[in-house]
Structure 1
Amino acid sequence: MTDHQVPEIFSRQRRRLRDQRASYRQARVSDPANWLSRVMAEDAIERIDFVRLEPKRVWLAGDLSGTLERYFNSTGADVVAPPLASVDEELPLDGGPFDLAISLDRLGSVNDLPGALIHLRNALAPGGMMIAMMVGGGSLPALRSAMLAADGDRPAPRLHPQVESRSATGLLERAGFSRQVVDEHGVTVRYPDLGKLVSDLRDQALTAVLARGGPALSKAALKRAEAAFSAQADDEGRIAERFEILTLTGWR
């Protein structure tokens, strides 16, 4: 019997460096973007209140805005929130068992997503709940269009493959969760130019960490990308970019 080999789609080193850069920008840059984390966190709080869950121990990753940590501190819960760059969901979680595990936009860049979900489930106490959110399929259409224009006839891999909602339920079942719930909703953000979008992605650890991504854009390719992005502007000169938030919820 041979061991199952997980394809290396994402570079763990690049992921760690990306997360370190995002943490630095959150701490040092004036008014860094963390709106996606805030939107996810507020949604998670609504879900927790809806099921009337009162966790005593919580594992939390990706809370860039600090919204969830402040919420749980107000309830008196014990929160384990490791630094962004130290979180590796492809390894067992330390400090369990937890009544609740929350992952905000972390699972979209792991090579072994089923394994990461199993680790999250194993870290839960019986009856514990997991909420995992990520940027799902159909996201960033304006950026994808701009990158295709930049590369021309020979498009390079630049953006992450994304999980579709129809496959997420199967992933939860495979990981052993019960009472699986999968849903998605979209958020549209309007940008003045490509540079502002890229800055937002860097602030929020959303840039690509592909193991075999495309080469850096040349100056000419970057100009093509900027032009293609700006060509999608509305009457006010803003470009609408779409982020589809996929939420996976399961219980142990």
Structure 2
Amino acid sequence: MAADLFDRALLTKRRRRALAEPREGADFLMRVAADDTLDRLAAVQRSFETAIDLGGHSGAFGTRLLAEGRAKRVVRADSLVANPADGGPALVFDEEALPFAANSADLVVSLLQAQSVSDLPGLFAQVAQILVPDGLFLAAFCGGETLIELRTALMAAEADLRGGASPRVHPFADLRDAAGLLQRTGFAIPVADVDRYTVRYGGLGDLVADLRAMGATNILSGRDRRPLPGEVLARADAIYRDQFSDPDGRLRATFDLVALSGWRPHESQQKPLKPGSASARLADALGTVERSAGEKTGPDKRKK
């Protein structure tokens, strides 16, 4: 079993606070992830019978799936308390243990959920079982060097003033690891890519306010429970401005959005040819002369 990297009770508390205290514009990552996912779905020439929206928080993505005719039925599942009056999910679940039967959906979508799951291989393996053969899994989550500027500034500030640093920004999976994980957990036709977004802020406080409104502040199990002293925050702000500001004084914040897609294997899907099964020679296609290994190259002596 994977180590308990994240404090799941605190994650639920932070997400609930984020829904109760919205901040205008702070949902930009979810909107970008939703738009990108719907664009990828547009290339799939089919409508899905049953879609599962994992951890969609506000439910906006599931609503769009239905409105755009991409799914006939959407089951929204989240870790928050189910309460339709306040926009809660239809199903409450532990994000480490999905409560769905095998072969129960033909589309599973996870937006900004996988980045806070301790056992990512376990999550992907469970999704593979939930999908019917030829079912599709789409995920988008923060990865790579997301918040690298904030991580650097906070660690440097604590090291300067305290002689050591506690983790304040949790680690993110990189693209290569995420792509390999799809294959290892049994998905066919895996595709992975990453888009980098640079968001500019007037100050460190504005960035932190956005992260709070996303429910994305520190939830590491091994975090330092003590609040950061004001002098450490001031030092972090100074370091941030010195290393990661633009000429106009605004601060840059990096968000790497990793997008994954994979299909539950099915006999109808395209498969790579077996080695040696080609029916045409590469030399013929290139208009060159085929030579055996070790034969010296030279002018083409074929008769005209």
Instruction: Report the TM-score, using the length of structure 2 for normalisation.
Output: 0.75
Aligned AA (1:118): A
Match of 1:17 in 2: 13
Q: CA deviation at 1:69?
A: 2.4
Match of 2:192 in 1: 182
Match of 1:247 in 2: 259
Aligned AA (1:6): A
1:90 has 2:96 as partner: yes
The counterpart of 1:159, out of the listed 143, 165, 169, is 169
1:201 has 2:201 as partner: no
Contact 1:136/1:163, CA 8 A, preserved across alignment: yes
Aligned AA (2:179): T
Contact 1:61/1:87, CA 8 A, preserved across alignment: no
SS of 1:183's equivalent in the other structure is: strand
Structure 2 gap ranges (5+): 81-91, 265-304
Q: CA deviation at 1:34?
A: 0.5
Q: Larger relative CO (CA 8 A, sep 6+): 1 or 2?
A: 1
Structure 1 gap ranges (5+): none
Q: Write the mapping of 1:41-190 to structure 2, written as runs, cut at 5 A.
A: 41-64=34-57, 67-74=60-67, 75=69, 77-83=72-78, 85=80, 86-94=92-100, 97-152=104-159, 153-190=163-200
Q: CA deviation at 1:247?
A: 1.4
Alpha-carbon RMSD across the aligned residues, in angstroms, is 1.9
Contact 1:35/1:65, CA 8 A, preserved across alignment: no
Moved over 4 A (4+): 64-67
Q: CA separation in 1, counterparts of 2:167 and 2:175?
A: 22
Q: CA deviation at 1:11?
A: 1.4
Q: Indicate the structure (1 or 2) with the bigger Cα radius of gyration.
A: 2
Aligned AA (2:99): L
Q: CA deviation at 1:209?
A: 1.0
Q: CA deviation at 1:230?
A: 2.8
Q: CA deviation at 1:242?
A: 0.9
Q: CA separation in 1, counterparts of 2:75 and 2:208?
A: 30
Instruction: Report the TM-score, using the length of structure 1 for normalisation.
Output: 0.89
SS of 2:198's equivalent in the other structure is: strand
Give per-residue Cα distances to partners, 1:121-152, cap 9 Å, x unaligned: 22212211011111101111221122123212
Q: CA deviation at 1:234?
A: 1.4
Judge which range, 202-211 or 41-50, deviates more. 202-211
Give per-residue Cα distances to partners, 1:41-95, cap 9 Å, x unaligned: 0000010001223112111134356552232222162111134524432112337
Give per-residue Cα distances to partners, 1:195-224, cap 9 Å, x unaligned: 111111111122221001124211111111
Judge which range, 13-22 or 238-247, deviates more. 13-22
Percent sequence identity is: 34
Give per-residue Cα distances to partners, 1:101-129, cap 9 Å, x unaligned: 11111111111111111111222122110
Aligned AA (1:106): Q
Give per-residue Cα distances to partners, 1:145-181, cap 9 Å, x unaligned: 2212321231211111110111112211222111111
Aligned AA (1:91): A
SS of 2:153's equivalent in the other structure is: helix
Contact 2:128/2:186, CA 8 A, preserved across alignment: yes
Contact 2:195/2:257, CA 8 A, preserved across alignment: yes
Contact 1:19/1:84, CA 8 A, preserved across alignment: no
Contact 1:93/1:123, CA 8 A, preserved across alignment: no
Contact 1:191/1:197, CA 8 A, preserved across alignment: yes
